[in-house]
Amino acid sequence: MTLSAKNTVNSVPRKIRILNSAEALFSQFGYDGVTIRQITKRAGVDLALANYHFGPKRDLFNAVLDRRAEVLNAARQKALDECLDNAGENPPTVEAIIDAYLRPLGEIHGSADEGWKHYFALIAYVNSSHEYGREYMTQFFNPLVERFIEALRMALPHADIKAIYWGYHYLSGALTLTFADTGRLDVLSDGKTSSSDTVTGYAHMSPFIAAGIRAICEPERA
């Protein structure tokens, strides 16, 4: 590390360095594959400092998830509010709702911020985890997701509610794989496309998911 880079790292508050380090390591190795000692070593701080700021490892994990969830939820909340406002007295369209859900994610995911890439990979890990998925996804994201589900019910008033929930479930699965950025798409396509091409990924996902939800919620129109 160069002297200027070291000075830049040291200028970041130690509490934030711990969060950044934990986020990167948890996203790569999962909760059980990381120790507090590894986190503080990467952050360049004393071991006791993590406990001072965050307490036990589970609380630090919680803090990492919470830090960016607020930003993410605010962006999607704003997009959904605009979607509903634009619909006026009419129900919003399925396409507009899915766009409001995905567009903010795509914009953030496609940014140059390495921390967000770590965070999305961590969310992929949590969302697919039997141990942590229900607890953490419920805590941080379910209230907003329920607003999107309600908007879909407005757009599809005659749909079986079970089909709407399954539609969201498929959306969540597509997002999880996109967040994970495993590189399998690169191998499968022999380099013709890449799982890290989030611009293309989100552009395709929005109409794909909207059409799928319509197909299972309005089968007579499919």
pLDDT digits (tens, 9 = 90+) for 133-159: 888 888 889 999 999 999 999 999 999
CB atoms within 10 A of CB 52: 13
Q: Name the nearest CA neighbour of 115 among 50, 5, 21.
A: 21
Given a cut of 60, is residue 60 above it in pLDDT?
A: yes
Percent of the chain with pLDDT over 90: 81
Q: Is 7 exposed, middle or buried (0-12, 13-18, 19+ CB in 10 A)?
A: exposed
> What's the pLDDT at 1?
45
> What's the pLDDT at 10?
60
Q: What is the pLDDT of residues 32-56, one digit of tens each?
A: 999 999 999 999 999 999 999 999 9
Split at pLDDT 50, 70, 90, the class of 111 is: confident
> What's the pLDDT at 184?
93
pTM for the full model?
Answer: 0.86
> What's the pLDDT at 29?
95
User: For the residues 179-198, what does the mean pLDDT come to?
Assistant: 93
**Separation of alpha carbons 141 and 137, rounded Å:** 5
Of the listed ranges 2-6, 26-30, 55-59, 171-175, the least confidently predicted one is 2-6
> What's the pLDDT at 8?
45
Domains of the chain: 1-55 (1.10.10.60), 66-221 (1.10.357.10)
Given a cut of 80, is residue 112 above it in pLDDT?
A: no
Residue pair 97/163 in contact (Cβ under 8 Å)? The answer is no
